[in-house]
Structure formats: structure tokens, C-alpha cells
Structure 1
Amino acid sequence: MMQLRSMRQKLVAVVMLTTLAALLVSIGGVIAYDLRVYHRALLGDMATQAELLGHMTSAALAFDDAALAGENLASLRIRPAVRAGAVYKADGTRFASYLASGEGPAFPAAPTGEGVRVEGDQLLVFRRIVEKGDFIGTVYLRAEYGLLARAIDYLAIAAAVTALAMLTAYLLMRRLDRIITAPIFAITTIAREVVRTRDYSRRAPRISDDEAGELVDSFNAMLTEIEQRTRALERSNREIAREARQRAEAQQEVMRLNEGLEERVRLRTLQLELSNAELGVAMEAASKASQAKTSFVSSMSHELRTPLNAILGFAQILTSDAMPTTPPQKKDFANHILKSGRHLLTLINEILDLAKVESGTVALSMEPVALADMFTECEGMIAQMASQRRIRVLFPEGCPEVVLADRTRLKQVLLNLLSNAVKYNRELGMVRVEAGAAAAGRVRISVQDTGMGLSPEQVGSLFQPFNRLGQESGKEEGTGIGLVVTKRLLELMGGSIGAASSSSTGSTFWIELQATDPLPSALAAGTLLPFEAQAAAQASHVLLYVEDNPANLKLVQEIIGFRSDLRLLMAPDAHLGLEMARVHLPDLILMDINLPGMSGTEALGQLRADPRTAHIPVIALTANAMPRDVERGLANGFFRYLTKPIDIGQFGEAIDSTLALVDGCARAREA
């Protein structure tokens, strides 16, 4: 009876746990989805409202009309969720404000940047007002954020539904479990008696016509078969006993003969296992080498095409009679060609450096190098890159250390570490360079950044070829061999390199070199090149170009500038591109694939999922030019797939044919 009770309890427990798991998963999924939709809808609605108020209030700010700004803010009365709003001038003073009924007059003293944040049960929105490229003010909105109350209501409902469902399941199982367990209990009783008495003539009663009844019949048939075989076994046991003696004698003779054979088989098996292990190691090494070669070819294809796109594209403009250019434009285009050519040369030099280091043909000129001079030179050379990414680079002041190294190669090592620290840093982050004495007459130089950091697995594979600091999506320029070359060069100079990283505090790369006598220092300076922004123009069609490379943005801007029928909007990343697409609803979108934060393919999926932008054709414009990349891009839903470097004729044909199709569809809808 205890076994039956245990089976019933297990059956009830299984059903109850299954029901509970299904309820928790389904209810949890519904609640999470609804809260996520509510949160995103509220943030999107408030951001759109702030941007609309910014557009409406720009004229009032320009003409210092506070009354007009107040009327614009008063339109927030139709939005009960918005409890307060204000417009601030560019200098931070409040220009106009709005308070919902019952709200206290609490406004920030001055705007705190731009963005959306949650404080308790309130949602705060700050949106900059920009008119013709000039910052003229800020829109501030405060709205009710009922996410917590909504979540509590859902949890209460979920608890009630779960309790009711569990109670119903428990009551049903208490009524139905006997239907399942009674036949099994009958079989258990008969089986226990048969085992105890060895009486195989006993039979279990059939009490149902379902699968349990079939189980009883099968059990009884098994008992019948066992009974018959037991009798036959008893008859044959005597004969088997006689034969067993004869077999034992024969088996002893066979075992004597097999002892030598087993030893030979064991030795041969060990040899085969050793050969298989060596073959496995060789195959794994060959597979890794093949993967590294494939990764290198793919990386080189993308990285070489990116600067070639700017070089060939601007060169086509300069040599085209259909696109006349002014002398300032020619100079600007030539600068872009020069910059991209230098980047291409850097990539080629990295590959050549790796080949030289691996072949042992690198010639070093070891001499005392003052770190103060070296830091000054590196500061000038990294300043432009850091300024473009808004990264602060801090070098030590009055560094007295001198190391024994090849000056050119040491500069190459430091610039590689500094460029990595800038490239993989957070926006408005910091890079700190420190130098000091280490053990055994050596000097340690460390480069610390405030980036996203690396996992222990990524740190362990940093100095392997083609490893781009865990950046597998190709968002940053480079070959992934810089750290390999750095490590080999330091070893040739008698130095060493190491790294430490945390996923929350950033990474620190350090190198150690032999200390030597001090030398006077020298000073090097760097220059900054401003980046020009695009001014919008009136045209019959609007194009949106999403691209993170400034040279490529400039190239397409100049190409489109020769056409008066097109107006170009530009976004440096996919997130801003999605927002601009939803606000401006362009006729056509040009999309790069390798974008920071979100890839072009992911952005395409979000565009297609939004009813407002699902109809907009998207053309891929990317350096991923392998045949499989083209096939994958078209399969993902891109309207056309163009590869870099840009062929201007093909580029123009793709835009014209796509816009012609868009216009045709528009006329068909109007008809």
C-alpha cells in the first residue's frame, strides 16, 4: 500500500509541477512582453513628443517669443501622462514652462545633457533643439512612469490565476489517479507473490480494457512463458551440468592459447591509439590553421576594400566630366584619398611586419630611448584619433625613465597599444599612460583604458593571430595582428607584454623593457583636422545613409551633391538611423553592414518589423564582398547589394531604378 501511495503522490507531484512550470513560463512571458512593450512605447512616445515640441518651439526661441513657446507647451494638456514641460535657452535659463493640474512647480535649474532617464515613478526627457546646425535650446518633459504599478497588478493577477489553476489540477488528480494506479497495483501484488513463492501459475486479474488491461495480459503471458521455460530449464540443467564439465576443460586449454594472443592485441591497440592521438593533434592543428587563413582572407577583403572605396570613389569624382568640382572640393577629395591611402599602407605594413617577424628578418637598432620624448611623439600622433572619438589621453609628466630599445619599433608598439585603447573605449572615456621602475632593472609602461573590458577567455587569446580584441563583428578597422607583431617585437628587444582586464572597469596592457642611462627628451606635436557636417537641401526624394566611416559618408555626400533631385540624411550608427527613418520616412535607405552597436542586418530586421518603415527599400552598401556575403544579404531582405569600393555608375543606376519603382508604387496607390 505504501508503494501505491508513493506512485500516486509522484503522479500528483509531476502533474502539479508541470502545470506550475507551464503557468509560470506563459504568464511570465506575457507579463515581460507587455511591460517591455509599455516601456518602449512610452519612451518612444515621449522622445517623439519632445522632438516635435523642439521643432515647434525653434521659431519662438529664435524670435524670443516666450508666449508662443508657452502656447506650444500648453498643447501638452491633451497628454494626461505628461505632468510638466519646459523649454530652456541655449545658456540653460528656462524660457517657458507648463504644469499639469495638481503638479508642484519643480523644474531642473538647467538641462542636464540630452537623453531619457527614470526617477522613481517619473520619466524625464531632455531633447536638444538644433536649428540649421546651431544649438538653440533644450526641451524638458516629465511624465508618469507607471511600470512598477503595472508590474504589481500583473503579479497579483498571475498569483491568483496560478493558485486557482493549481487547485483545479490537484482536485482533478485526486479524483483520477486511482483509474491509473489500480491496474498497476494489481500487477505489483501478483508479482510480489510470485517472487516470494516461485509459483508461476498465478495470474493477475484484468480490470480494464485500456493500455493497463493490455499490460495485465502481457504480464500474464510473460508468467506463462516463464513457467514453460522454467520446466524446460529444469529438464536441461542435468544435461548442462554434464556438458559444463567438458566445456571447462576445453576452456582452460583455450585460455592458455589466448594469453599470448591477448598480449599481442594489447600492444597493437596501444600503437593504434597513439597513432590516432597524433593524427587527431595534427588534424586539429590543420583545422586551426585553415580557420586562421579563412579569417585572415575575410578580414583582409573587408579591411582593404574600406580604404579602397574612398580612394577609388573620390578618384572617380575627380576624373568624371559629369561631376565638375571646385578647387576646394578637389583638395578635400585629395585629402580623403591621402588619408585612406595611408590607412591602406598601414594595413599592408602590419602584414609585412608580421611576415618579417615570423621569418626572423627584422633588423633592430638598439639604443637608449627617453620615455619622455617617446610619450610626447606618441601624444601628438594619437591626438587626432582620440579627439575624433572624444577620448582623453593622459601621459605622465616629467618621466625620467630611459629604456634600451629600437626607437622606431618602440614607437610602433606604443602606438598600437594606444590606438587599441582609443578604438575599444567608451564614448567620453579616458586612456591613462603610466611608467615606472619594475623588478630586476626593468621599466614597466602601462596603458589603461575605460572600455567595456574583456572576458578571461578573450584575455587568454589576445596574442593569437587575427584576434581583434574580441571584436568579431568588424566594427573597428584593423587586421587583428597588431598585438602579435607587438609581442614578437618586444621579445626581439628583450622585453615582455601582458594584459589584465575586467568586463566592468576596462583593460590594462603593460610592457617591460630593460632600463638604461637617461637621455634628454624631444617634443613632437600633432594636428587636428575638423570634420565637416552636411547641410540639408530641398529635393523631390530623401535618402538616408547609415555609415560609421567618415570618409565613406563624405564620398556619398559629394556624389549626391551633384543631383538636385535628392536630399541626403546621414547617421553614424544603426540606432540613430532607425530613429531618423521613423521620423523622416525617407524614400530610400543606404545601409552599411558592419556598424557599431547594431549591425546593418539587425537594423533591417527592425525596419521591416515597424509598419511605418516596412515599405522603405534598403540597399546594402558594404565592404563585405564575398559571394556568400552577397547571397546572405539578399536572403536577409536587402533590396540591392552594392559592394565597396563604389562604382559611381552602378551606384547611380541602383538609386534611380529603386526610386523609379517607389514612384511607380506611389502612383498605383493614388490611382
Structure 2
Amino acid sequence: MIRQSLRHKLLGVIAMVMLPAMLVSIGTVVAYDLHVYQQTLRDDMRTQAELLGHMCAPALTFDDQRLAQENLSLLRLRPKVNAGALYNARGALFARYAAPDQKPVIPSSAGQPGFQFQEGKMLLFQPIYDNGELIGTVYLRADYEMMDRFIDYMMIGVLAALLAMLSAWLVGRRLNEVITRPILNVAHVAREVVATGDVSRRAERFGDDEVAELAESFNKMLSDIESRKRELENSNREIAREAEQRSFAQQEVMRLNAELEQRVHERTIQLELANSELAMAMQEAKSANQAKSAFLSSMSHELRTPLNAILGFAQILTSDKLPSTLAQKKEFANHILKSGRHLLALINEILDLAKIESGAVALSMEPVALADILQECETMMAPLAGQRGTRLLFPAGVTVNVTADRTRLKQVLLNLLSNAIKYNRDGGAVVVDCTAGTAGTLRLSVQDTGMGLTAEQVRMLFQPFNRLGQESGAEEGTGIGLVVTKRLVELMGGSIGVSSSPGVGSVFWIDLNTTLPVPSPAEGLPPLPELPYRMRDNITVLYVEDNPANLKLVQEIISFRPELRLLTAPDGQLGLALARSHLPDLILMDINLPGIGGMEALRLLRADPRTAHIPVIALTANAMPRDVERGIAAGFFRYLIKPINIEEFTEAINSTITWLAERAQPVDGGQQGGINDQPGRHPERQHTRRG
């Protein structure tokens, strides 16, 4: 790289400032002048064309080429115009003119109106109008000296640039003494300091401007460097002393590193142990995932099994190609009903298991009289035991109370009794026993005389879809009941177990905590008075349902009751209108309705004095416990869950009719008592859950 002096740089700066400014100024003037020249030439040619067109209009109108030629000859007075022509309305050449020293290049027909540029010439086609009618076109061709003018300006610009550079050189010479000399003096002192290392040298100061301040600052910097140099020498001696201390510290660090390596080794061993535990946890998670997949596969199989029977027999009943007798139809219907109930039980137990696993089960723990529970279970299981020829033996004189959820305890016992009956032998027995346990517990056992279970079957017993080891499918079952039973017992603070001997039978037992008996809330309450009443000849029932199939099913059930008259509504809005106009005795209400839902419809019925006394029974597929609780709290008289159980449905209708009859008008003609006795406050209101 060529080194340039400050003087040359200053000269270059001056030239770079002056030259662009001058070029911009000249360029602006040239551009403006060329623009004005072009615009002036355009205006002049347009004016000449308009004047020529005005003069030649009569010649074009009367087809006088001589007059047109004379008018065009006047263009010789315009030396810049090389040629001209007139065209008639059809665009054909009418007359033309060419300068004596120019080659006559004239188009044979009129072109598009406007300006054109061609070979350094400007061309113009100007239409001629007379009273708004096109009568011809004027053509002019003139010299376009734009490039010549531009070259002249370029020569002027070069000359001006040379003059500017000369001025810059003269100015630079004058500024050299004022600016560059003091700066060069500072540079000279700096080179000497760098070469010799002598920081005691100082630069000379000239004048009292910024350059002089620069020299003063440079001298001050040299003074600071001289002071720092002395301090650095002192610091070097201090560094040598600290180096000895650092050596000692390094030895200490090496000792600490050795200790750290020992600790790392210990942590590594701990990490390996943690990794081993993590691998075991991952293996357990993998096993759980495989169990989940197996559960889903089994659940799919169990759901499809009853559906196969339902859909298969239904297709036979609805097929014209497979005729069947009345007895066969009845048999097929029984198979559909049996499979449907089995499917419903499976769905209910799957839902129970899902709620238990998700922690959504809310238990009401309270003292429960075990004798009452056993009596209810014996009554419910006696028909099933009678069909199988199995004897049921329950203990007598049980006075122990246990801490449990009454409903869930009953569900646990029914599951155990149902399994004991189903997997028993013909003519066998089921023995229920209560024995005192340790630490305030009670053991409740259910013993059967069935085929018993092997040790492997007992080990896999409380897994989903293991139906007491009966994989052959000889007995129907969901295979989830024992899983739900185990979870419920554990949620109630108890435990469950089993002991079995192949060929002898099995004993399932549960341990629960005992508690002191408490008086029943119903004790001491007077019975409801039996009022004389007059039965109605017919009962009007309003059914609000949007599903046609469900509506048809209820219509068929009601058709067997001649004393019942059925009104139907497909939505809540129409249901409210029918209730207010017909005032039915009983309303069946679906919850999920289009428009106004069942809950809102019930609220509107209760708010209307005309319909506030009408009992409303919920007939819905909303089967979750929170849905049932909401329905009962909202004021439904009964809460029935789909699919419809005809016996439960009939019992609900009958109990409601009995309730209506008890509150009907007395025989002696007294006032009706049902208006103020709203069904939402009836103490017998309950809900029905199947499965």
C-alpha cells in the first residue's frame, strides 16, 4: 500500500468536496436545460402543426392539393423542420414537403398521433379536426439536437472540473502551513518516542486552536505514560512475589482435585444405582403399557361379543330372506335382550373402573348395619341361585356395623355372590360368614363349592377380563367385576383376598373396619297418611323426546296401558306449550333436547303456577353420578337412565300414578291437595340406575 502524506490527503479531501458539488450543480443545470430544450421543441412543433392544420383544413375539405402544397411550402421558413406532409381523413398521403438539402423520407400513411424519435429526428403526427370531425393529419419532421447539446455540456463540465482541481491545489498549499505543519510536528515526536523509548520528549505547540490542543494532549499522554512506566516496574516486582504464592496455590488445587476425583467416583456409583432403578421403573412402565394394550384388546373383544349376538339376531328378525316362526322370533328377542343386558353391565363396570382409576369416585363413608346389607343381598340373589339350584346360606343374628359406603359395599357383596353362584357346580352351595378380625376389623367371606382355582389363576385373578380363570367362556361375565370390587374395597379402607383349592371351591373375603351402631334417620318418623281418593278414568302422559326410535319405544310400551293417554313433543319448546295447554298428569322428559334442554324446561315448568304441580320424570342417557345428583337436585320426581328397563319404567309410572291418586280430590268433595304439594319436595323422590 502506497503511503500518502497528510498534505496529499488534505488536498484530496478538498478536491472530493469541491468536485462532487460542482458536478451536481453542472448536472442539474444540464438536465434542466435539456428538459427545457425538449419541451420547447415539442411545444414549437405542436404549435406549427396546429397552425398548418388550420391553414390546410379548407384544402382537405375541398380536396385542393395545390393549396395544401403551397401551405406546406411555408415550412421552408423553419430551417429546423426537414419535412412535412398532409394526410386525408382515411390516412392516405395528400401533400408533402421536404427541405432542399434533406432526403425526402415521408411515411406513405398517417401514423399514431403523438411524438416519435427516429435517427436523431423528432416526428409528430397531429390530427386535424373541423367542427369535431377528423378531416386529416399533419406530419412534421425536425432536427433533434439533444445529443449535440449534451456533448457541449460535457466539454464545459470537464473544463470546470480542471479549474476546480487547480483551485483545490492552491487552497491546499495555503492550508499546509496552518494545519499540517503542527500535526507533522506531533507525528515526528511520536516516531522518535517509538524508536528510542524515551518518553521524556515533548511536541512543540503552535497557535491556540484545536491542533495546538492536540499537541498539548499528546504531551500530557507522554507524561502519563512515563508515570505508568514507573508504576509498571514496581508492579513487576510485586508480580514476581505473587508468582511464588501462586505456585503454592497450584499445589493446593492439585490436592483438591484429587479429593474431587474421589467424590466424582462416589457420585458415579450413586448415578449407576439411580440408572439401574430408572431402568427398572421403565421396565415396569413398559409392562404397564403392555397390560394396558392387553386390556384394550380384551375390552374390544368383550364389547363385540354381545354386539355380535344383538346385531346378528336383529338382522335375522328384520330380514325377508330369513323367515322365522313366532317361537324363533321370541327366542331371538330373548337372546338380544340377554346380550343387551350383558353389554350394559359390561359398560357400567368399565365406567366404574375408569372412574375409580381416575379418582373420580366419591364415597360417603358412614356406619352401615351389616345385617340390612346381607338381607338385601340375599333377597336380590335368591332368584339367580334358584335358577342354578344353588343354596344360599347367610349368617343369622348379625349385629355388627362397619364403616363403608352403603351403596358400594352392597355392590361389592353382589359381585362376590354373583361370581360364587355362576362358577358353582350343580346343586352346590354358597356360604356367607362374618368373623371378628384383629384391631377392630370384621372379615366377611363368601365361600362356594365350585371347581376352584389353581395358584396361577389366583395370581392373575384381579386383572381385567380374567373371569375367575374361566377363559373357555362357559359362563358369561365381564371379567372386570373383581377388579372394580378390589378397588372399591381399598377405597373404603379395607382389603380383599382369596384362597382356593382345585376341585373343592374358593373363599373370597374382605376385611372392613367396625364401628358403633347409630340410630337410623328414618326411625320414629310417622307413616304417610292413607288418604281416601278417587281414581281417574285415564292418565295423560306427555313425553318430550327428540329421538324417533326412543319415542316409538315408549309409545309401544304405553300402548299396552289403556288407561294412559300419550302426548309427544320433539323438543323442549313444544313440550312446554303442550304442558301449558293440556296440563298432563305426568311428564317424561329427556335432558339433551334441541333448543330448550330438559333442565331448563323443568325450571320453566316449576316457575309456571299452572304446571308447577305436575311430576316430571327424567328419562335420559346421562348416567354419571354427578348428572343424577344434578337431576334430583333440580326437582325431577324420578331419574330413569337409558336404556329403558321396562319393569323399572313401569314401576316408576305406577308409583307416580299412586302418588297422584293419594293427592287427588277426596271422596267427600274437599279441595285438591296436589297443587301446593309440589313433587320436587316429595320425600320418596329417587333415581334408578341400571347395572
**TM-score of Structure 1 vs Structure 2, range by shorter chain:** 0.3 to 0.5
Task: Give the number of the structure whose alpha-carbon radius of gyration is greater.
Answer: 2
Give the structure-2-normalised TM-score.
Answer: 0.34
Normalized against structure 1, the TM-score is what? 0.35
